[in-house]
Structure 1
Amino acid sequence: MKIIYILFILFTTNATAQVATSSELFKTLKSNDSLLFDVAFNRCDPSPLHLLIREDLEFYHDQGGIQHSKKEFMEVMKKNICGSPDFVSRRELVAGSLKVFPLYDNGTLYGAIQMGSHRFFESRNGAMETPGSTALFTHLWLLNEGHWQLARVLSYDHKAP
């Protein structure tokens, strides 16, 4: 319920809390986005996920349902995204769409909301890559002992090309 409240506050307030793209927070979370998608998703290398994702991850997808843990998420990645050499999916962040909003508790940074748009491309049986869906995403990152970990994911508004 807290995530819904946080997102409600975020969407109903002025966006001036967004950090600059030159800030350390923005750069760090953009780098994490790259590890999640360019490495884990696009190359099917799950190694960065072990450190970047919390055990209690919740992933809400408007077409694929809910995953209630890191374990479930990893199984879906292995089975659906990286499970067949006959189907390859690639994700691309839409340039300029990434936004980061810091979260504070009495002046202490404890988390951040990262939002953006991404598009997907698909290739079947070695054929040329074709456009897949575009979608929006919202990630809740929590700072844990100096390390950013993905706690909640909303993947929504998927649209066909």
Structure 2
Amino acid sequence: MKVFFLSCFCIVFSSQIFAQVADTSALYKAIKANDSLIFDVGFNTCNLAPYNDIIADDFRFYHDKGGITSGKTAFIASMQTGICQLPYKAERQLVPGTLQIFPLEKNGVLYGAIESGDHAFYEVEKDGTHHQTGVAKFTLVWLLVDNKWKATEGLSYDHRAK
């Protein structure tokens, strides 16, 4: 019986420690806003200017089909010569209900967050027609640097057809 109660306690306690934040929290809203700058602004419109403020200089991006990109400068250049040069407009959409934000703390002080979710990719025709080309999972690690959120690591993986 002791083992049963100890197991129950551990399960409940661990879920409290590792629980994602509520989608109404300030942390969730801040990270989601930065996700929008990376994808809704940067990826979807090729306006990469926000990357200068929210991508860390030593950013590392891991892509299961494209390899590793090291550094903000290389990441921005890969966007300029890749997604932004396609013969069609590429679009990324966050899959509703998949975004999760997990706080990173040391001694009770917030220093970062892990963002994860699923995203879908589309080819947008000149007439505005969207054709889904695939889906994937993503994870971003965000750190607070001088009270500003900076993406330091990014993973895009499990790419597959829709």
**TM-score (structure 2 length as normaliser):** 0.86
Specify the alignment match of 1:150 in structure 2: 151
Q: What is the Cα deviation at residue 122 of structure 1?
A: 1.1
Instruction: Figure out how many residues of one structure are paired with residues of the other and give that number.
Output: 147
Specify the alignment match of 1:73 in structure 2: 75
Specify the alignment match of 2:8 in structure 1: none
Specify the alignment match of 2:99 in structure 1: 98
In 2, Cα distance between equivalents of 1:120 and 1:100:
21
Specify the alignment match of 2:60 in structure 1: 58
In 1, Cα distance between equivalents of 2:133 and 2:85:
18
In 2, Cα distance between equivalents of 1:97 and 1:120:
15
Specify the alignment match of 2:26 in structure 1: 24
Whichever residue aligns with residue 72 of structure 1, its letter is A
In 1, Cα distance between equivalents of 2:110 and 2:161:
37
Is the partner of 1:17 in helix, strand or coil? coil
Is the partner of 1:63 in helix, strand or coil? coil
Task: Write the deviation string for residues 42-98 of structure 1: whole angstroms up to 9, x where unpaired.
Answer: 0110111000000000000000100011111001100011124x2210000001110
Gap regions ≥5 residues in structure 1: 1-12
In 2, Cα distance between equivalents of 1:29 and 1:151:
13
Is the partner of 1:143 in helix, strand or coil? strand
Task: Write the deviation string for residues 114-154 of structure 1: whole angstroms up to 9, x where unpaired.
Answer: 00000000146x37431111000010000001100000001
Runs of 4+ in structure 1 over 2 Å off = 13-17, 126-129
In 2, Cα distance between equivalents of 1:129 and 1:99:
26
Specify the alignment match of 1:122 in structure 2: 123
Alignment of 1:3-14 (within 5 A): 14=15
Aligned CA-pair RMSD:
1.5
Is the partner of 1:117 in helix, strand or coil? strand
In 2, Cα distance between equivalents of 1:64 and 1:14:
34
Structure with the greater alpha carbon radius of gyration: 2
Percent identity, please.
Answer: 44
Whichever residue aligns with residue 101 of structure 1, its letter is F
In 1, Cα distance between equivalents of 2:96 and 2:75:
26
**TM-score (structure 1 length as normaliser):** 0.86
In 1, Cα distance between equivalents of 2:55 and 2:114:
15
In 1, Cα distance between equivalents of 2:69 and 2:15:
31
